[in-house]
Structure 1
């Protein structure tokens, strides 16, 4: 496919497709699911086309007769197709038969979860590696190995570059557009959520301005654990007639169905000495560019610290929060590639916090802190040293992700890695 940029999930699909009969590739609109799936498809049913839906409804046997792999694109537009695929797999479980792509959880749920027949794979916006800004020299797989792998490499990417990447977004069709066109596309993306996607999910937005205000307040809460009541207060300052709780819960539910909220869950270890860890999630949108656009920030305002928008208590600057969100996007993609999961750690008394915990299937972990600065000192490592004391050998490795130029290991064994140099 001309112009196709290889994605981290391609490697995952290369491993899964030959061994599974059906895979559902899920994620928000615009992340590249269709382009990635079409590279493998023998036949495509584009169900965002009413004519294609009508033909499939009239003759479901087309799925069995088509050349494999069969791509069912935007399957949520015709939810019955999920069960059609499941039954087809029951009849013939040969690997590599179906790929389904979906940009939302359908309002009318399929009659069966698909467990044992259809495997779900999440796709997210492009990572820094996929955007091609630098060649990674440190792999998350190396950190997860627990072998204290060498950490080295250098990059010229600095804070202004990361700020630019936050604003560019990881949506392939938006990333390389000129600045004004990019802003217009992001505005259009957000407008479509309110005007089209919510109604398609069966949720009529009676007051679009209220939804946008809530979503903007959520954007301001990026990389925090602010309560939903605090987000609502920030969305409606001085307003005595706030939206009902059921209304804002409806916002959350639909945005989750659209894969646009991507919070980082609190870490709940199964075999550690911790007994008092907070379980609240850390708020993240699917792409930090959406948060930046909702808040109306620019590169100059982020770098100067002059940031408008709802006031949400946070440690550090908005740029620091958005940089952490950019790192979270990268870590989520790389963790999935390594069959690991991403969490954050915060004790209930707030004395100790670690930005990210990446957990392997055996419950051993890598701990990562994120610093907007280019340099690291001992004060930045207090929580990592504390966690090492708590976990012992269950801590595979520890690292600080920075905006600096050089990757290296400190004398205490903690890795220092510029964000642009981290890969899967």
Structure 2
């Protein structure tokens, strides 16, 4: 696997290029150090920007805040990096593109969810397209198709795949994660990167969104959340374990979501009204950070009592979340859990209501009871149920009856539509 990020293409590059062709303002929004600046450069190689403004530079930021209207005055394409540092620029950008509706006028990047910024002005509805950039997917790291979502909706239970990867190989991958800096480092240096990354995230990005006085409390909470990776996110239970008041905890969870550290995966139900009150699951955007917070390398993960099961579940959920940003098949990501505790780790529902269920198993064998949740989901979805797939660490495709089968986990990034 190449670790030279200059050689790794990003699926989002095509999305940015397409958006600039028909949209006035394009925002690349994603985690710090995920490669937004590099993506911006690659996406605009054919269009020489008239202005590139890096708000990380103190003098540039001061200029933006002192004269936001003059700052955005330009011809052609203007790139503004880290727009969340100067949200006051969004109002003059809106005025500019209202007066001149040509596409491709502004390309912005942000390392916080811009819609979460305090005192945010009108967020350019109908004028701005937001493209989320995650840390590298496995397909981007291995130059493989990354089209599982398209393949499963097109071929359903007819999918076939074999793999030479085994459990240890997958555990190595999840401990590395997808941040460009982490991918190219040795394990010891990777750990140093994660420490620095988390400290910067709390000290800088979170403080851009809200005033946090007890930074240590938030760092401690991260370790507790890592222990809940792949599980239900019940704020009352976490508040009790952490000693953090419930209202403060909810605020922290919103902030950690806004800086792309965690993701809440909502519950699926055939009754849309119930989805709103269903308990979400917790996933870490990057599996490497989750493993770092747990203090577990590939060997520790694989030991009895290790976190291999929930970490691999969260890893698969986030690979699916990444794919849904570029797949031809549109869909939304959920999980499924009944009162009888029948569960499916990931459910993808298309706009026309078709449903695919994905169960994740850390072992190399699949038992009949491992498919109980998928069978229950199939009954609930009825004719809308496309397929139920168990992704496991074995090497063969195994059929399990009507619309159900097990596939090696790397089918996620190796299958083509």
User: Normalised by the shorter chain, which TM-score bucket?
Assistant: 0.7 to 0.9
Flag the 1:136–1:389 CA change in 2: closer, same or farther, 3 A.
same
Task: Name the SS for the 2:69 alignment partner.
Answer: coil
Report what 1:310 is aligned to.
none
Task: Please name the residue that 1:383 is paired with.
Answer: 373
- Within 2, Cα distance between the matches of 1:276 and 1:333? 22
Aligned partner of 1:117 in structure 2 is 127
1:363 to 353, 364, 368: 353
d(CA) in 2 for partners of 1:135, 1:405: 18
Structure 2 gap ranges (5+): none
Deviation, structure 1 residue 277 = 9.4
Change (3 A) 1:298 1:393: same
Note the C-alpha offset of 1:73.
Answer: 0.9
Note if contact 2:178-2:286 (Cα within 8 Å) is conserved in structure 1.
yes
Matched, 1:218 2:225: yes
Distance 1:128 1:7 in 2: 11
Give the distance between the partners of 2:277 and 2:83, measured in 1 at CA: 37
Moved more, 104-113 or 217-226: 104-113
Contact 1:83 1:111 in 2 (8 A): yes
Q: List gaps (5 residues or longer) in structure 1.
A: 236-241, 308-317
Conserved? CA contact 1:21–1:94, under 8 Å: yes
Aligned-pair distance for 1:329? 1.1
Distance 1:202 1:222, change over 3 A: same
**1:71-82 superposed matches below 5 A:** 71-82=79-90
- Secondary structure in structure 1 of the residue aligned to 2:263: coil
Q: Which residue of 2 aligns with 1:53?
A: 61
- SS of structure 2 residue aligned to 1:29: coil
Partner of 2:283: 284
- Alpha-carbon distance between aligned partners in 1 of 2:75 and 2:94, rounded to the nearest angstrom: 16
Distance 1:276 1:341, change over 3 A: closer
| Counterpart pick for 1:209 among 209, 212, 216 | 216
1:340 paired residue number: 331
Match of 1:67 among 62, 71, 76: 76
Q: What is the aligned partner in structure 1 of residue 235 from structure 2?
A: 228
Which position in structure 1 is the counterpart of 2:40?
37
2:245 equivalent to 1:244: yes
The 2-side partners of 1:137 and 1:87 are apart by 39
The 3 A distance-change label for structure 1 pair 402 and 17 is: farther
TM-score of the aligned structures, taking structure 1 as reference length: 0.86
Alignment partner of 1:85 is 2:93:
yes
Alpha carbons of structure 1 residues 277 and 125: separation in structure 2 relative to 1, 3 Å = same
Q: Is the 8 A contact 2:269 2:275 kept in 1?
A: no
Call closer, same or farther: CA 1:276–1:109 in 2, change over 3 Å.
Answer: closer
> SS in structure 1 opposite 2:195?
helix
Q: Give the distance between the partners of 2:31 and 2:146, measured in 1 at CA.
A: 29
Q: Deviations over 1:287-306 (max 9, x none)?
A: 12222111211222111135
Structure 2 CA distance for aligned equivalents of residues 95 and 415 of structure 1: 46
User: Structure 1 CA distance, aligned partners of 2:406 and 2:226?
Assistant: 28
The count of corresponding residues between Structure 1 and Structure 2 is 401
TM-score (norm 2): 0.88
Task: Give how far 1:173 is off.
Answer: 1.6
Cα contact 1:151–1:408 (8 A) shared by 2: no
Alpha-carbon distance in 1 for matches of 2:324, 2:202: 31
Which position in structure 1 is the counterpart of 2:175? 167
**Residue 405, structure 1, aligned to residue 408, structure 2:** no
Asked whether the equivalents of residues 225 and 282 of structure 1 are also in contact (C-alpha less than 8 Å), the reply is: yes
Q: Are positions 1:143 and 2:152 aligned together?
A: yes
SS at structure 2 position matched to 1:267: coil
Instruction: Report what 2:265 is aligned to.
Output: 264
Separation in 2 of the partners of 1:180 and 1:17?
40
How far has the Cα of 1:363 moved from its partner?
2.1
Q: Which has the higher helix share?
A: 2
Pair 1:61–1:226, CA change in 2 (3 A): closer
Query: How far apart are 1:9 and its partner, in Å?
Result: 2.0
- The answer to whether the 8 A contact 2:72-2:89 is kept is no
1:343 offset after TM fit, Å? 0.6
RMSD between superposed Cα atoms in Å: 2.6
Alignment partner of 1:128 is 2:138: yes
CA-to-partner distance for each residue in 1:293-323, whole Å, 9 max, x for gaps? 112112221111355xxxxxxxxxx211000
2-side partners of 1:148 and 1:249: how far apart? Answer: 38
Q: Does residue 324 of structure 1 match 2:313?
A: yes
Question: Are positions 1:28 and 2:31 aligned together?
Answer: yes
1:315 match: none
- 2:19 is aligned with 1:16: yes
